[in-house]
Amino acid sequence: MKALDAERDTFPKLVRENARRISGKVAIREKDFGIWQSYTWARYFDEARLIAHGLAALGFARGDRVAIVGDNRPELYWAIMAAQALGGVPVPIYQDSGEKETEYIVDHAEARFAVVEDQEQVDKLLSIRARCPRLAHIVYDDARGMRAYRKPGLVSLAELRELGRKFEVGHPAHFDTEVAKGGADDVAIICYTSGTTGVPKGAMLSHRNLIVTARNAAEFEGLREDEEVLSYLPMAWVGDHVFSYAQAIVCGFSINCPESAATVLSDLREIAPTYFFGPPRIWESLLTGVLVRVEDAARPKRAMVQFFLRLAQDIERKRLAGQTGSLWQRLLYPLGSLFVYGPLKDNLGLSRVRRAYTAGEAIGPEIFLFFRGLGVNVKQLYGMTEASVFVTIQRDGDVRLDTVGTPLTDVEIRISESGEVLFRSPGVFRGYAKNPEATSQTLADGWIRSGDAGFLDHDGHLKIIDRARDVSRLADGTMFAPKFLENKLKFSPYVREAVCIGQDRPCVTALVNIDLVAVGNWAERRNIAYTSYADLARKPEVYDLIRGEVARVNRSLAEDDVLRGAQIRRFLVLHKELDPDDEEITRTRKIRRGYIAQKYAPLIEALYAGRDHVSVEAQVTYEDGRTGTMRADVMIRAVDDAPARTAR
């Protein structure tokens, strides 16, 4: 473990240093009232200190837990620092979590305070407070709609600041004393991971975990003080915490909070970040947006764009394989930059990106090649909440399609006998809050069991195959890696989600979610009228389309000696989209297999019973928590096995 200087071993201390060293540099921007409002590091520190004083006035004690709920807002980042400064622990919670999930976390974390964005979150917390008696104070930022609220323990941020100002007069040394008491090994944050099985677990990360990992990654990647980041991913997710909080403070770069969830794409364009992070679904939706617009363009324009995009992907594919494009291609590329790649990057807000990451799930090769072809340095990263994110990164100039890169500085990787990836690093967490059993299952002698099956290739690159516990066998003993198949399916722009089933079954079958934007556009182009997702999902034409995609996956499987036997024989298009509100996928869009197998058991039985349609009733949860029932008749289609072929 690297020693940390006692003057710089917690985030509040680092922010204090930034407030001196680069006091006038912008730390946070937020688009508000149509204008990007800037806050400097000096202001960042003052605001956080004021909030800390306010919390202290309410009786905040060391060790108190603070729930943080809302969209990415400067005030909420300041509240995180305020809690840390007073020796408390912030617990960010997904802002779109329902009452049940929020209640579980607030209760389990024993939160005494909550700092939240607006009325929506206040209402949620007020209604769970009856069952979480420890939750004494709720602080809210946006007062709108709450004029008539008179509840004990409910204060606005403006009132809290006022309390803080008064407190400061009486206790001028309180803040500095409390900050000085903090040390590197205090818990800095508890991130609850949704988990694909069971209840959420609260991963405790210390200041040391986060500071050392953030610094190592910044050095590894050459991050600078002038980076610009768009903070648009949920604050409850460890990724946002590391990029928008830990790394921003360690490096002193600026983060930018979008105006609202709906304006992220235009805000992205206005900010043009230099350092960007997106899970595959973000890259997918950017690409889908481009392709839909290309389809709508006039014919000559469309032909030109398609020609140059193909050229870029072709060159990039060769480059990743260590070859160079033909002379002709190299001559044409600058022309493509001028007419297509440059304008397109500018339009997407990716023109200034020096490095971008994709992680969390496998990314489709077409998507990866598309952005790299444009000249966006997007790279794969492998990380976990329990590791303070970073485990491996693809180095610049050593990017591959099918690996997640090499270990970061100070990270050791080992593969267990059963093929599971184990690692050890300075970022390895302090354990799960109040859950020694889960901690001992994951953490032994400083090594973390990732739960992922994978291997290191001869260049030291890590390759992930699937979740270790999901790799299983068909009834006849053929190896079956569901996520591998699902990712292949999801590489199609028309498939949004897929769930493959096959463990101890005679063959593989799939439940498919279509992509409403892409398939909707495809349908409009063919004059197929539809009203809703459910309606579109049951069109025979859509089934033909998806069948083509499944056949494509089967053809690529036929080239693989091990997985040839696990081709998809039958599929259906689900009548509803998988939704975190229905607990079918996690908030980070990981499939909860056990739950789906149980919930859709009749559908799955019908797939294996050889029927050609099945009727279902499904429970749906609306955003306000009410539930309703929907009935549908779902068709089932069979797909032929592709003949065995040897690899090219």
Nearby residues of 160 by Cβ (< 8 Å), 6 or more positions away: 51, 54, 55, 57, 58, 139
Identity at 545, one-letter amino acid code: L
Nearer to another protein, 62 or 151 (CB): 151
What is the nearest approach in angstroms of another protein to the Cβ of residue 21?
34
Q: Which two tokens stand for residue 499?
A: 């769930």
Nearer to another protein, 3 or 148 (CB): 148
54: three-class secondary structure by DSSP: helix
Burial of 105 (0-12, 13-18, 19+ CB in 10 A): buried
Nearer to another protein, 266 or 615 (CB): 266
Which one of 25-33, 157-165, 213-221, 363-371 is the stretch in contact with another protein (CB under 8 A)? 25-33
Of residues 251 through 270, those in contact with another protein by CB under 8 A are 259-260, 262-263, 266
Of residues 235 through 254, those in contact with another protein by CB under 8 A are none
Edge-first strand listing for the sheet containing 355-358: 275-277, 355-358, 378-384, 389-393, 406-407
- Residue 35 is a binding residue for another protein (CB under 8 A): yes
What is the nearest approach in angstroms of another protein to the Cβ of residue 587?
22
563: three-class secondary structure by DSSP: coil
Measured distance CA(330)–CA(314) in Å, rounded: 11
Measured distance CA(281)–CA(374) in Å, rounded: 18
Nearer to another protein, 32 or 561 (CB): 32
Measured distance CA(536)–CA(517) in Å, rounded: 11
Measured distance CA(596)–CA(619) in Å, rounded: 13
Nearer to another protein, 32 or 457 (CB): 32
Phi and psi, residue 271, nearest 5°: -80, -35
Which one of 29-37, 129-137, 342-350, 439-447 is the stretch in contact with another protein (CB under 8 A)? 29-37
Decide: 100 and 76 in contact? Cβ < 8 Å. Answer: no
* Residues in binding contact with another protein, number by CB under 8 A: 14
Nearer to another protein, 266 or 598 (CB): 266
- Residue 101 is a binding residue for another protein (CB under 8 A): no
Q: What is the DSSP string of 30-85?
A: EEETTEEEEEEHHHHHHHHHHHHHHHHHTT--TT-EEEEESSS-HHHHHHHHHHHH
- Residue 130 is a binding residue for another protein (CB under 8 A): no
- Residue 335 is a binding residue for another protein (CB under 8 A): no
- The one among 24, 34, 170, 628 contacting another protein by CB under 8 A: 34
Nearer to another protein, 504 or 624 (CB): 624
Strands 495-501 and 508-514: antiparallel
Torsion angle of C-alpha atoms 183, 186, 191, 195, degrees rounded to 10: 140
- Residue 33 is a binding residue for another protein (CB under 8 A): yes
Nearer to another protein, 145 or 446 (CB): 145
Measured distance CA(22)–CA(222) in Å, rounded: 19
What is the nearest approach in angstroms of another protein to the Cβ of residue 142?
10
- The one among 6, 7, 20, 32 contacting another protein by CB under 8 A: 32
What is the nearest approach in angstroms of another protein to the Cβ of residue 147?
5
What is the nearest approach in angstroms of another protein to the Cβ of residue 621?
15
- Residue 147 is a binding residue for another protein (CB under 8 A): yes
Q: Tokens 């600026």 — which residue?
A: 254
Decide: 435 and 201 in contact? Cβ < 8 Å. Answer: yes
Measured distance CA(309)–CA(374) in Å, rounded: 8
> Which helix H or strand E contains 35, and what residues bound it?
strand 35-40
Nearer to another protein, 33 or 328 (CB): 33
Nearer to another protein, 169 or 262 (CB): 262
Measured distance CA(358)–CA(278) in Å, rounded: 5
- Residue 37 is a binding residue for another protein (CB under 8 A): no
- Residue 222 is a binding residue for another protein (CB under 8 A): no
Q: Which two tokens stand for residue 47?
A: 């605001």
Nearer to another protein, 7 or 32 (CB): 32
Task: Report residue 406 CA to chain centroid gap.
Answer: 21
- The one among 130, 148, 169, 529 contacting another protein by CB under 8 A: 148
Where on the chain is the footprint of another protein (CB under 8 A)? 31-35, 144-145, 147-148, 259-260, 262-263, 266
